[in-house]
C-alpha cells in the first residue's frame, strides 16, 4: 500500500473514532501530529511561525519567538492585526533555579483617546463612526506591549527579533486564499457602503485600496510589498517603542484621528499583572484578566462543567448531550459578561465572586440537561458578522516556557484608515465599547453602561490567550483564537477536545464547532457540521438553530510525550514551525 493510501486509511479510522466521541472533523481528518522536542510556534501564517522558529534556533526563548512572530503577522496578516492595534499575552516561565515558575499577563489593549466621552458617538450623529474611519481608532498598544515583553522576559535584541518582519515587508510575500477572501469581503462592503470612503478620507482610502486591496483586483499569487512598513520597523528596531509613541509616527497617527492627541500616544503604557487561574480535571488553567472577558468566561464555563462532571463524563461519547451541556454553561458566562464585565480600573468588577465555587454551584444547578431556558434565566441578571480582524499565536520552547498571544485591529482591515507615510493600518477598537445605549456592537454583543468609553479606558475584549498546566506543572496546552466572541467558544472547544477526548492538536482545531453567546438566542453550527441528528436533538431541547461558514480560528499546541504537537487552524491557512 502506498504512503498516500496509508494516510487515507488512518484518516478514515480517526474520523470514525472521533465521530463516536463528539469531535467533528471539519473536512479531511488530520494525520497524527508531528512531535517537536526543541520548540514550536503555531501562528496563522507560516511566515510568522518560521520567524518564531528562527528565534528559537538562535537560542531565544518563547517570548523572543512570540514577539518575532507577532511583528511578522503585522506584515503577513494586516487585515487581522498589526502595529496599529493591540492585544494580550499570557507567559509561562518554567522554573529555573533559583527562580520558581512564574505566570505573567500583559495587557496592551487599545485605549480610548482623550477626545472621547461616554456620549461621543451619540453627539457625532454619524452612522458607523465607531467602526469606520478615524473616529473609530483607539490608541494602539501593540508596539508598547511587544517591546515590554521582549525587554522584561526575552533574551534577544530588538534588531534580531524584527529582522524577519523587515525582510517580509521589504521583499514581499505572495498573498494566499485567506488574504484574498478578506480583501474581497471589504470590497463588497465598500460597494454596498460607498459613503465609507468619505468617512475614511479619499486620499487615505486610495492608498489603502492600492496597497492592500490591489486596486480592487486581489488574487492568489500576487506579491504584497510594504516599503513604508519596512522603514517603520527599522525605526522600531533602532529606537524601540519611543519611535512609535513620539516623533513622526505619533504625529502622523494623531494628525489622522480627530479625538486623539500626541499626548495620548506618549502616555500609553502596557500593564503586566498576574493572570487569573482556575482548575479543571486536575489541570491549572492560566488565563487573561480584565479587560479580557475571555479569561473569566472560560473559567466560569469550565467551573460549571466541572460541577456537572457526571453529566459531562456520560456525554463524552454522546455529542448532543455534550453540546447541550457546553452551550448551557457558556450562556451563563456570556450573560454575566454582558452585565458585569468592563475595564476594572474604571468600574468595580467582583471577579472573585464571578469565579467563586459557591456561585458556580448555583449556576450549575440551574442547568437542565433536557431543555434550554429563557434568556432571563442565565447569569445573574441576529446573525453575527464574519470577523478576520484578530490573530493568535502559540509558542513553547525547549525549556518548557510558553506564550499565548492574541492581537487584533478588530474588524477586517480595522477602521479602513491608513497612515500611508508610515505604512500603518489603524484599528476600529472603539466599537468594542458601548457606543450607543441599547445597540449591540458589530459582533451582536450587548454591553452594559460599565463599558461606555472614557479617556484612557480599555474596551472589553473577547480575546482569550490561555495556557493549561498539567498536575506536574508542565505546559500541557497553549491555545487561543480569532473570531470576536467566537474566540471564547472556539478556544474552549479546541482545548476540551484535547483534555477530554485526547485529540491531537490538528484534530482539535480541525473539528467542526458551534457557538452561542446568550444573546442573540441562537445556537450556530458551522456549515461543516456533519451530524444532522445532533442539530435536530438540540432543536428538540428548545434551541433556536443557525448556521455560519466558520466559528473562529484556533492555534493550539499540546504536550505529546516529551515533546509537543502543534496545529494552525485550516480555516485560515496557517502552519506551525518547530524542531
Under the banding of pLDDT at 50, 70 and 90, the label for residue 98 is confident
- The CATH number covering residue 548 comes to 3.60.20.40
Are 380 and 70 in contact by the 8 Å Cβ rule? The answer is no
Q: Looking at the domain assignment, is residue 54 inside a domain?
A: yes
Mark whether 375 is an active-site residue: no
Of the residues 390, 417, 435, 466, only one is catalytic, namely: 390
How large is the average pLDDT for residues 33-62?
97
Residue entry with cell 525547549: 398
What is the chain's Cα-based Rg?
A: 22
Please name the residues in contact with 421: beta carbons below 8 A apart, sequence gap of 6 or more: 228, 248, 252
Whole-number pLDDT of residue 28: 38
Whether cis (ω within 30° of 0) applies to the bond prior to 291 is yes
In this model, does residue 417 exceed pLDDT 70? yes
Are 368 and 541 in contact by the 8 Å Cβ rule? The answer is no
Whole-number pLDDT of residue 19: 39
| Same domain membership, residue 417 and residue 342 | no
User: How far is 30 from 11, CA to CA, in rounded Å?
Assistant: 6
| Same domain membership, residue 396 and residue 366 | no
249-280, pLDDT tens digit by residue? 999 999 999 999 999 999 999 999 999 999 99
End-to-end CA distance of the chain: 29
Q: Looking at the domain assignment, is residue 406 inside a domain?
A: yes
Are 355 and 526 in contact by the 8 Å Cβ rule? The answer is no
User: How far is 478 from 19, CA to CA, in rounded Å?
Assistant: 24
Q: Number of folded domains in the chain?
A: 2
In this model, does residue 393 exceed pLDDT 80? yes
Q: Which DSSP category does 271 fall into? A: E
* Closest listed residue to residue 37, CA positions, set 558, 563, 504: 563
Helix (H) or strand (E) holding 547: strand 545-548
125-154, pLDDT tens digit by residue? 898 999 999 999 999 999 999 999 999 999
Portion of the chain with pLDDT greater than 90, in percent: 83
Whole-number pLDDT of residue 68: 98
Are 196 and 127 in contact by the 8 Å Cβ rule? The answer is no
Rounded-to-10 torsion of CA 349, 353, 355, 358: -170
| Same domain membership, residue 557 and residue 429 | no
Q: Looking at the domain assignment, is residue 428 inside a domain?
A: yes
Q: Looking at the domain assignment, is residue 188 inside a domain?
A: yes
| Same domain membership, residue 354 and residue 503 | yes
Helix (H) or strand (E) holding 178: helix 177-192
57-86, pLDDT tens digit by residue? 999 999 999 999 999 999 999 999 999 999
Under the banding of pLDDT at 50, 70 and 90, the label for residue 389 is low
Return phi, psi of residue 205, to 5°: -65, -40
Cα three-residue angle 206-212-213, rounded to 5 degrees? 75
Handedness of CA 349, 384, 320, 552 (dihedral sign): negative
Q: Looking at the domain assignment, is residue 484 inside a domain?
A: yes
Q: Which domain holds residue 425?
A: 39-269+392-451
Whole-number pLDDT of residue 550: 84
Return the HEC string of 393-445. Answer: EEEEECCCCEEEEEEECCCCCCCCEEEHHHCEEECCHHHHCCCCCCCCCCCCC
| Same domain membership, residue 532 and residue 562 | yes
Least confident of 3-7, 116-120, 205-209: 3-7
Whole-number pLDDT of residue 12: 34
Least confident of 270-274, 314-318, 325-329, 472-476: 314-318
Least confident of 19-28, 224-233, 359-368: 19-28
Amino acid at each position: 500500500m502506498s504512503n498516500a493510501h496509508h494516510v487515507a486509511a488512518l484518516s478514515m479510522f480517526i474520523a470514525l473514532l472521533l465521530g463516536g466521541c463528539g469531535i467533528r472533523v471539519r473536512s479531511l481528518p488530520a494525520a497524527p501530529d508531528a512531535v517537536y522536542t526543541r520548540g514550536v510556534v503555531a501562528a496563522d501564517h507560516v511566515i510568522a511561525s518560521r520567524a518564531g522558529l528562527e528565534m528559537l534556533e538562535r537560542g531565544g526563548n518563547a517570548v523572543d519567538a512570540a514577539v518575532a512572530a507577532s511583528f511578522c503577522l503585522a506584515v503577513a496578516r494586516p487585515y487581522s492585526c498589526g502595529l496599529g492595534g493591540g492585544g494580550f499575552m499570557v507567559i509561562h516561565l518554567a522554573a529555573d533555579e533559583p527562580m520558581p515558575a512564574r505566570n505573567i499577563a500583559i495587557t496592551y489593549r487599545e485605549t480610548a483617546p482623550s477626545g472621547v466621552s461616554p456620549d461621543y458617538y451619540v453627539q457625532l450623529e454619524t452612522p458607523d463612526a465607531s467602526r469606520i474611519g478615524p473616529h473609530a481608532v483607539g490608541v494602539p498598544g501593540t508596539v508598547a506591549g511587544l517591546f515590554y515583553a521582549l525587554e522584561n522576559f526575552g533574551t534577544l535584541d530588538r534588531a534580531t527579533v524584527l529582522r524577519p518582519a523587515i525582510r517580509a515587508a521589504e521583499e514581499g510575500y505572495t498573498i494566499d486564499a485567506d488574504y484574498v477572501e478578506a480583501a474581497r469581503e471589504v470590497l463588497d462592503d465598500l460597494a454596498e457602503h460607498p459613503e465609507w470612503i468619505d468617512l475614511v478620507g479619499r486620499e487615505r482610502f486610495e492608498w489603502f485600496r492600492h496597497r492592500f486591496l490591489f486596486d480592487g483586483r486581489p488574487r492568489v499569487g500576487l506579491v504584497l510589498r510594504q516599503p513604508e512598513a519596512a522603514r517603520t520597523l527599522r525605526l522600531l528596531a533602532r529606537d524601540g517603542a519611543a519611535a512609535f509613541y513620539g516623533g513622526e509616527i505619533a504625529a502622523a497617527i494623531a494628525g489622522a484621528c480627530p479625538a486623539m492627541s500626541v499626548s495620548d500616544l506618549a502616555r500609553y503604557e502596557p500593564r503586566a499583572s498576574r493572570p487569573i487561574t482556575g482548575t479543571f480535571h486536575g489541570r491549572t488553567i492560566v488565563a487573561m484578566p480584565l479587560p479580557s472577558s475571555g479569561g473569566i468566561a472560560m473559567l466560569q464555563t469550565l467551573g460549571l462543567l466541572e460541577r456537572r462532571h457526571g453529566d459531562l463524563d456520560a456525554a463524552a461519547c454522546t455529542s448532543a448531550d455534550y453540546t447541550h451541556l457546553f452551550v448551557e454553561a457558556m450562556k451563563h458566562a456570556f450573560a454575566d459578561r454582558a452585565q458585569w464585565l468592563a475595564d476594572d480600573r474604571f468600574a468595580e468588577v467582583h471577579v472573585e465572586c464571578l469565579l467563586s465555587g459557591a456561585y458556580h454551584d448555583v449556576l450549575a444547578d440551574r442547568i437542565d440537561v433536557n431543555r434550554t431556558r429563557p434568556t432571563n434565566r442565565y447569569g445573574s441578571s441576529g446573525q453575527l458578522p464574519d470577523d478576520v480582524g484578530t490573530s493568535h499565536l502559540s509558542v513553547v520552547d525547549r525549556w518548557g516556557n510558553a506564550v499565548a498571544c492574541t492581537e487584533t485591529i478588530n474588524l477586517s482591515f480595522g477602521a479602513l484608515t491608513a497612515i500611508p507615510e508610515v505604512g500603518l493600518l489603524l484599528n476600529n477598537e472603539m466599537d468594542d465599547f458601548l457606543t450607543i445605549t441599547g445597540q449591540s456592537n458589530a459582533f451582536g454583543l450587548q454591553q452594559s453602561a460599565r463599558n461606555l468609553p472614557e479617556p484612557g479606558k480599555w474596551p472589553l475584549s473577547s480575546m482569550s490567550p490561555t495556557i493549561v498546566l498539567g498536575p506536574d506543572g508542565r505546559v500541557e496546552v497553549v491555545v487561543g483564537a480569532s473570531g470576536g466572541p467566537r474566540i471564547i467558544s472556539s478556544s474552549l472547544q479546541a482545548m476540551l477536545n484535547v483534555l477530554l477526548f485526547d485529540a491531537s492538536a490538528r484534530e482539535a482545531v480541525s473539528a467542526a464547532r458551534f457557538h452561542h453567546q446568550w444573546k442573540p438566542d441562537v445556537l450556530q453550527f458551522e456549515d461543516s457540521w456533519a451530524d444532522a441528528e445532533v442539530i435536530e436533538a438540540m432543536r428538540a431541547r428548545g434551541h433556536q438553530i443557525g448556521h455560519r461558514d466558520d466559528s473562529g480560528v484556533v492555534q493550539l499546541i499540546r504536550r505529546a510525550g516529551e515533546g509537543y504537537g502543534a496545529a494552525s487552524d485550516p480555516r485560515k491557512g496557517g502552519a506551525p514551525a518547530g524542531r
